[in-house]
Every structure is written in structure tokens, then in C-alpha cells.
Amino acid sequence: MTQRTPIIGGNWKMNTDLESGMSLASCVVDGVENCDSCEVVVYPPFPFLQAVESVVDASKVHLGAQNMWHEESGAFTGEISGAMLKDVGVSSVLIGHSERRHVLGESDALIAQKVDLGIKQGLQVVLCVGETLKEREAGDTLAVVLLQLKTGLSNVSRDQMASIVIAYEPVWAIGTGKTATPDDAQSVHASIRSTIVDLYDDNIAQQTRIQYGGSVKPDNATDLFSCEDIDGALVGGASLSADSFTAIVLAACDS
Ligand code: PEP
């Protein structure tokens, strides 16, 4: 891996309850205590953000949110603004996760608006991109991923790229136990980085972190992290076990 600090995110999705979420966060805080060379973020469900913040506050673990709305405030029943997230200590937000795209129908255009506002509100924005199995089998992986990338970044200036992390998550690998091979993942990551060169410049591309996501586990993490353009992982299922998540963080620290 290059000089980029690896970033490991734990996306808890719609899992845990208040007590188990706080306990999971507490075990993660303890487990990563001595890991200095890696950034760690947990993304609990909205109702538990404040409670988890009280656990991770003053630790190395950052607090993230799984989504936000693209307007600052107003009549958007059931939605959450970036300012509200900041208010409760959130520093990072996932935008365009495949479940938001494919289960909840979020479009590239909506995602671009969310990216824009998340950055303006001072959040680290993790822009998630990835192809479905059908798209992969049709040979459209790069066309899909790079279009999602370009549209997602369409309002992002050069200076704002410092607040962006890209998560490449092939949809067919999320929650399925199937992982892209390190070579397959590396090849898509390299294309993402070279597209960032085209959109911005080489310097910005070299500084942008690109996480891999899709059934990352302690036993496949080391091979993935040894790839030149893989700068950590966005972890779903394995982030619900403090032992597994911590082992993935330690693998990134050692990479
Ligand atoms: C995710 O939710 O972003 C994810 C990658 O899930 P899993 O690790 O369970 O595949």
C-alpha cells in the first residue's frame, strides 16, 4: 500500500439494539486502541448515534452515519440532515450505498446532490459505487462504476476532494460471502484512480482513498490490503463482531 492512511468502516446497517450497539462500539474502541496507522469509523443506525458517540468519544474510533438527506432542513418527514449528524458528533457519512441505490431506488443525480451537501456541511463523504452481477456478466463493470463515480463527483471541486473517500463495492459481493479476487478488485480500483486523474490530477488521485467492500473478513483482508490501490475496507456483516472487525483493522494496520 502507498502512503495513504487505510480507512476501515464498519457499516452496521439496520442491526444491533441500543445495548448491543454500545457494547460493540466499546469492544471496537478497546480492540483498536494500539492501531495508529489506520482510520477507523463505525456507522451505527441513526437512533443509536448519540449513545455510540458517548462510547467512542475521545477514542481513535470515528462516528459515521449510513445516509443523509440532500437538503439543509425543512418539510422532509423522516429524513436526517447533515447538520443534525454533525450536531451529534458524526464526522463521516456513507452516500450511495448499494442498498440505497438498489433497494431504495436512489439515482446517481440524487446521490450527487447528497455528496455535494455532505461536503459543504463539513462531513467526510464515502461515495459508494459498484456493479450488479448482471452488469458484471454483461461486461459493463467499468462503464457502470465509472459513470457512478463521475456523476457522484460532478459537483466536487479539487479542494473538496480531500473530504472524499470512494468505496468500491460490487453489489454481488455484498452480504453474499462472495468476494472479488484481489486482482479483480485491484483492477477496478486502478481504473477508479486513473479516472480521478482525468477528472482532477495525479496528485489528488494519489491522495484519494479507495476502500473495497463486499464480504471482507479477517481471512481475506490481508490479501486485499496488499493490493496497491486498495486503501482499506467498508465492512458490513463482519463489523457486527468486534473480534472480526478488529482483526480486519489490525490487518490494515499491518499492510
Ligand atoms: C457493506 O454493507 O457495505 C458490505 C460490504 O457488506 P458485507 O461486508 O456484509 O458484504
Segment 98-103 shows an average pLDDT of 92
List the residue whose alpha carbon is closest to atom 4 of ligand 1. 236
List the residue whose alpha carbon is closest to atom 3 of ligand 1. 236
Helix, strand, coil percentages (3-state) for the chain, rounded to 5, are: 50, 15, 35
Q: Which residue has the cell 441513526?
A: 46
- pLDDT, tens digit (0-9, with 9 covering 90-100), for 237-252: 999 999 999 999 999 9
pTM of the predicted structure, to 2 decimals: 0.96
For the cut 80, the answer to whether the pLDDT of residue 192 exceeds it is: yes
Which residues are identified as catalytic? 97, 169
Which ligand 1 atom lies nearest to the CA of residue 174?
A: 10
For the cut 90, the answer to whether the pLDDT of residue 180 exceeds it is: no
DSSP 8-state code for residue 181: -
121 CA to centre of ligand 1 in angstroms: 26
How does 151-185 read in b/e, with b if 16+ C-beta sit within 10 Å? bbbeebeeeebebbbbbbbbbbbbeeeebbebeeb
Assigned C-alpha cell, 96: 450511495
**Which of 14, 41, 215, 217 best tests ligand 1's pocket when mutated (most atoms within 8 Å of CB)?**
215
